[in-house]
Amino acid sequence: MLRRKLIKEEAVHHDRWLVSYADFITLLFAFFVVMYTSSTVNQKKYDALSSSMSSAFNLVNITPIKGIDQGKENNPQDSLSLSQKKDQKLVLIEPIDIVKLKREQYLANKAKMDLTRSDLIKKLKPLIDQGKISVAQVPRGIRIDIQDNFLFAPGSAKISSPLAVETLTEITPILVNSNRPIDIEGHTDNKPIKNKEYSSNWELSALRATAVLKILNQEGLKDGQLSATGFASSRPIDSNESPQGRAKNRRVSIFVIQDGNASVQ
């Protein structure tokens, strides 16, 4: 006869909660250590940050801060009263060299672009008054829009007008002196074209931009300074629903790029 094996019951430990409680206390202690460490101000780092911010914004209100490092208490005699803070004057902080240099470069580039725009408007004023050319300041820089009928015959990419060639020749020295990259864009309306020479408006717009580029290049603009792109009817400046709008969309745009990092060497 088999004997039944007795199973001993395990003793119940009523103090298991102490393990969880100890873990919780340890985590809580670590949390407060991190909070205390992050709340301690390093005076040297604070002064460096304050100096950088002052340099960036030029004008700052300087308020001495003492007794905030290494657990020191603030001294009431060192802190400024409310009336003293109100009477405190703004102090001009000289920007650090790199900030000052960038600011000077920006102002020099802006002045040069303003001069280029002024020279272009002066040179092209008769054609601007006739509505054949427009000069505008845009985010990219300076944009010169030339109507297609001033440069080309309908459906052609050959510049046949002596006045158009003369005009491009006259503005080339201004573009050379600007020392900026020059982007040339060809644009058409949305009327499809298909003949023996051009299978689409994409081809026509690209060849028109290239025709203008060739003249500017021959007159002195460097190869690396020039680029030409055809956009067909993808970037209209007016509605293609009217003859007047389509006439404005058929154009060649010459951009004098303003980006300060894009100067041509």
Domain's final residue, options 95, 110, 141 = 95
Average pLDDT over residues 176-193: 94
Residue 204 in tokens? 């026509």
Average pLDDT over residues 117-144: 95
Q: Are residues 164 and 250 in the same domain?
A: yes
Average pLDDT over residues 249-261: 87
Q: Are residues 248 and 227 in the same domain?
A: yes
Task: Report pLDDT digits (tens) over 96-114.
Answer: 677 778 888 888 888 999 9
Alpha helix segments (H runs only) across the chain: 17-39, 43-57, 82-87, 97-129, 148-151, 162-178, 201-218, 243-249
Exposure of 220 in the CB half-sphere (CA atoms within 13 A): 12
Average pLDDT over residues 240-265: 82
Residue 146 scores a pLDDT above 80: yes
Q: Are residues 152 and 226 in the same domain?
A: yes
Burial class (CB in 10 A: 0-12, 13-18, 19+), 31: exposed
Q: Which of 69-73, 132-136, 229-233 has the lowest mean pLDDT?
A: 69-73
- Residue 204, in any domain of the structure: yes
pLDDT value for 71: 47
Q: Which of 8-12, 55-59, 242-246 has the lowest mean pLDDT?
A: 55-59
pLDDT value for 43: 67
Residue 21 scores a pLDDT above 60: yes
Contacts of 209 (CB under 8 A, 6+ apart): 184, 185, 186, 228, 229, 230, 252
* Nearest of 231, 186, 232, 226 to residue 209 by alpha carbon: 186
Residue 200 scores a pLDDT above 60: yes
- Please tell me the distance from the alpha carbon of residue 256 to that of residue 183, in angstroms, as a whole number: 7
- Residue 2, in any domain of the structure: no
- Residue 110, in any domain of the structure: yes
Q: Are residues 23 and 132 in the same domain?
A: no
- Please tell me the distance from the alpha carbon of residue 195 to that of residue 182, in angstroms, as a whole number: 30
pTM as predicted:
0.61
- Residue 195, in any domain of the structure: yes
pLDDT over 90 for what percent of the chain?
A: 50
pLDDT value for 209: 97
Q: Are residues 27 and 58 in the same domain?
A: yes
Q: For the chain, give the mean pLDDT.
A: 81
Task: Report pLDDT digits (tens) over 37-84.
Answer: 766 556 666 676 667 666 655 544 445 544 444 444 455 555 555 555
Domain of residue 91 covers 17-95
Beta carbons within 10 angstroms of residue 142's beta carbon: 23
